[in-house]
Amino acid sequence: MDLMKQLLLLSEKLYSFLGKEPEDKEDKRDEYIEFVDKLLDARGQTIDQLKAMPNNPIIGHEYEAQLRALDKGIIERLETFKKQIATDMQNLQKSKKSEVQYHNPYGAVSTMDGTYYDKKK
């Protein structure tokens, strides 16, 4: 299989895989990220092999338009997934903060236990 066909197949596989989210967000997310990472690594190695050739075979190839469209879609889906992870992390931080406040509701209040400071001399 030539490298251009391999790049197209890897790009299509990555694009379609990014289209579906993991079933159970907490448990399957690590496996999902690992598989995406493997696909990105394989795709990157193929691109590096193509760039190492004396003339760039991507430019002017019959798959160039498909590859550009897939690349744009992959980037959009990766950004969407990144935003989902960031939102989940923010929600987790909020829930941790509210849990601490629930266990110690007066932790943020600083009192001097009824002492009075006279600032006049």
- The residues near 101 (Cβ < 8 Å, ≥ 6 apart) are 107, 108
Q: In which domain, by residue range, is 21 found?
A: 3-103
Whole-model pTM? 0.72
pLDDT digit string (tens) for 53-88?
A: 888 777 778 888 899 999 999 999 999 999 988 998
| Residue 68 resides in a domain | yes
Burial state string for 41-80 with b = 16 or more CB within 10 A and e = fewer than 16: eebeebbeebeeeeeebbeeeeeeeebeebeebbeebeee
The count of domains in the chain is: 1
| Residue 120 resides in a domain | no
Distance, CA of 57 to CA of 60 (rounded, Å): 7
| Residue 114 resides in a domain | no
Distance, CA of 36 to CA of 112 (rounded, Å): 55
| Residue 119 resides in a domain | no
